Amino acid sequence: MRPLGWGAPGGSLLGWWEATGRPFAQLPRWGAGLVLALLVAVTAWSASVTGDVHRLEQARSGPSVTAAGAPGKDKGQGDIALYSRISARVAAGEGYYAVATDEQRRAGYPTRPFVTVRLPTLAYLHLAMTPAGVGYLLMALLFACLLALPRALAGLTAMPERIAALVLLPISGAAVGAPSAALFHEVLAGLLLTLALLLHRRGGWGLALLAAGCALAVRELAVPFVLLWLVFALAGRRWREAAAVGALLAVFAGGMALHYLGVESMRLPGDPVSQGWNSRAGYALPLMAMARLTGLLLVPVWLAAPLAILPLVGWAAIGGRLGLFAVVWFVGMFTMVALFARPENFYWVQLTMPAYGLGLAFAPRGLLELWRSAAGRASRQT
């Protein structure tokens, strides 16, 4: 496939990238060797540092970890128990902000800054659908992702890779089957962002934008995904799409302003203040989180962390706008966790699931292409 030149009509950096095909197959011999060496170094590093993070996570004072990746109940004071009490009281007819601030105050949770209080969307969904109904909604969203997956991967991956991705998607989204999943904001937001990622295509981004907007309404940490989308739309000179994404961000900003007013109206002078989000635990924390949020929970931690890197390799290998967007999003999200998340906030990375786990389906051919390029052999593109 011939790359688009910088001066070609309608050419852009994204157009040039998409025209290069599978990037690992296009690397020069020295470049592929450098990538392989870096990959070996990173996997070796991850195996050596996860033990320290594991001990730190075990020693933290927050809620315990469950196989679903959600904070578990700790004598009734864990996050999920808190969200359950809030939803039950809202369902009984009480106002969300009065209930949320009261419950967080009673449990010793901070109410300052205002983002320590979750957006009311999930509690209102429980009111409208019951938690059991939200559980069925999670299953429906996972099924919608399955339906969107083949078309999203067409032209970028081989048939065996698409079949493997279809198998991996429900495995990567297994958290929806956890009893506490319907109370877990990041599970719902992660499914919506995965759906947005898979639904997007040129000339057909409306449904993807709706899914991303719903994710923002559930968890404000979805905003990096939408900001990255705006950058891609502007870089691709898709002005209508960029305007729509910008409008969504403006609506989101207005919603956050209303959320601020709601929390402030119920906050008391002596309410606890958050200790902040500047733990700087490093990249070992998101790697450990991936090991806890997926089937890697069943393998030793020293092996799980290196294996958790392979999906990123797979997404990088497929190329195209989808692959590039996914890699930048995942790396950005993991960097945010590495810099700002406290050990008990490890479940932030659930916002990348089940999309991240799909990369494992693309990793084998990506590694083969790297090896062939490093050995100086030509490889065929799909």
Contact indicator for 353, 190 with CB cutoff of 8 Å? yes
Residue 216 CA to residue 222 CA, distance in Å, equals 5
- Residue in the block written with tokens 């898979």: 198
- What is the band of 3 on the pLDDT scale with cuts at 50, 70, 90? very low
31: which 2 tokens? 């470049």
Percent over 90 (pLDDT), the chain: 65
Confidence class for position 5, pLDDT limits 50, 70, 90: very low
The reported pLDDT for the residue numbered 64 is 39
pLDDT in tens, 176-205: 998 899 999 999 999 999 999 999 987 689
How many Cβ atoms are within 10 Å of 268's Cβ, its own excluded? 9
8 A C-beta contact, residue 212 and residue 229: yes
Residues 201-234, buried b or exposed e (16+ Cβ, 10 A)? eeeebeebbebbbbbbbbbbbbbbbbebbbebbe
Q: For 144-153, how does the pLDDT look when each residue is reduced to its tens digit (9 = 90+)?
A: 999 999 999 9
**Strand stretches in 32-120, DSSP E:** none
Q: Has residue 89 got a pLDDT over 80?
A: yes
- Among the listed residues 210, 221, 194, 188, the one whose alpha carbon sits nearest the alpha carbon of residue 352: 194
Using DSSP, state whether 184 is helix, strand or coil.
Answer: coil
Three-state SS at 104: helix
* DSSP type of residue 79: H
User: What's the pLDDT tens digit per position in 14-28?
Assistant: 777 777 889 999 999
Tell me the whole-structure pTM to 2 decimals.
Answer: 0.89
With bands split at pLDDT 50, 70 and 90, how would you rate the model's confidence at 66? very low
Q: Dihedral angle at the C-alpha atoms of 245, 247, 253, 254, nearest 10 degrees?
A: -150
Q: Within its chain, how far is the Cα of 142 from the centroid? A: 14
Separation CA 250–CA 244 (nearest Å):
10
> Which residues are within 8 A (CB) of 240 and not within 5 positions of it... i.e. 6 or more apart?
none
Contact between residue 79 and residue 71 where contact means Cβ atoms under 8 Å apart = yes
Question: What's the chain's average pLDDT?
Answer: 86
pLDDT of 98 > 70? The answer is yes
